[in-house]
Amino acid sequence: MKPLAVFFSLALVAGCRAPMPEPTPETLRDRIEAVAAQYPEATVGVAVRDAHTGVRVDLRADRPFHAASTMKVPVMIEAFRQVDAGRLAWNDSIAVVNRFTSIVDGSAFSIGDDSDDALYTHLGGQMPLHDLTRRAITTSSNLATNLLMEVLSADSVQATTQALGGDGVLVLRGVEDLVAFEAGLSNRATAAGLAALLTALRDGRAVSPEASRQMVEILLQQEFGEMIPARLPEGVRVAHKTGWITRIHHDAAIVYPPDAPPYVLVVLTEGLEDHAEAPQLGAEIAATVHAAIRG
């Protein structure tokens, strides 16, 4: 057969080839590993939970990471639980102060690094509980989070986290308690633990169906979209919470395609010094997962 005829013959066969089957959890895990391998300095934990296809992928999903601001998800859930139980009301006024006590020795500290400067204009005043809860998620306000923790208590947040199956998520304290940090007492999270909390939200099991819906709406208003949402197709909505500190960059999400059921994706990273490189890694993993299970 002449070379040109061979080319057209192969093209015809390729055009008639059956669609590639959906990836198994093993093949999707291999694809995620291949992306992570391009960033050898990074340690990556990933959890995928797709009730529609039954795909469940765990890549170092039980490996504990510093939680950074992902701990604000269980804080939000606990705020909704206490309102639902009648212990608090959304219009309760909380004094806005920037003075907190360490869980180690009771020493005073204040928030010095924050992503929500606007809240500091309210120092000395009052802020409704609902506004603080929203700010803790959408602008990742550290000050709002610590004010909430003073009202809710770490023990209550942790108890609710455990009740929802969030094993591996440990909420000991608010943020920027440097004395506790130096003592090794930091909030921790695993990809699997955060995925359990987001799955409860997706399925309407976190507090109540209506409360879950409202929490998802808050997560959809997240202002930082450089990780999981960054490379997803147009029209995909992402309800998520990011978190970052030095050499740590996370994103935990419920992904809502416009024409398909939602799925849960959590990407935790540690080890990358470049603050732009870690979100790029997370975005590539998210694009890989989406193409595999919703492409």
- The CATH number that applies at residue 59 is 3.40.710.10
pLDDT at 22: 66
Residue 142 within any structural domain of the chain: no
Domain limits for position 200: 22-89+153-294
Percent of the chain whose predicted confidence (pLDDT) is above 70? 93
Sheet of strand 248-256, all strands in order from the earlier edge strand to the far edge? 56-59, 43-49, 263-270, 248-256, 237-245
Contact yes or no for 220/253 (Cβ under 8 A): no
Domain tally, the chain: 1
Residue 148 within any structural domain of the chain: no
pLDDT at 151: 98
Residue 210 within any structural domain of the chain: yes
Q: pLDDT tens, 71-104? A: 999 999 999 999 999 999 999 999 999 999 999 9
pLDDT at 10: 35
Residue 21 confidence class, pLDDT cut points 50, 70, 90: low
pLDDT at 109 over 90: yes
Q: pLDDT tens, 244-276? A: 999 999 999 999 999 999 999 999 999 998 888
Per the DSSP assignment, residues forming a β-bridge with 245 are: 248
Residue 28 within any structural domain of the chain: yes
Q: pLDDT tens, 134-160? A: 999 999 999 999 999 999 999 999 999
pTM, entire model: 0.91
pLDDT at 168 over 80: yes
Residue 261 within any structural domain of the chain: yes
Burial (CB count <10 Å: 0-12, 13-18, 19+), residue 3: exposed
Check residue 71 and report its DSSP letter: G
* CB count in 10 Å sphere of residue 68: 23
Q: Which amino acid is at 62?
A: D
Q: Would you give the distance in Å from CA 160 to the centre of its chain?
A: 17
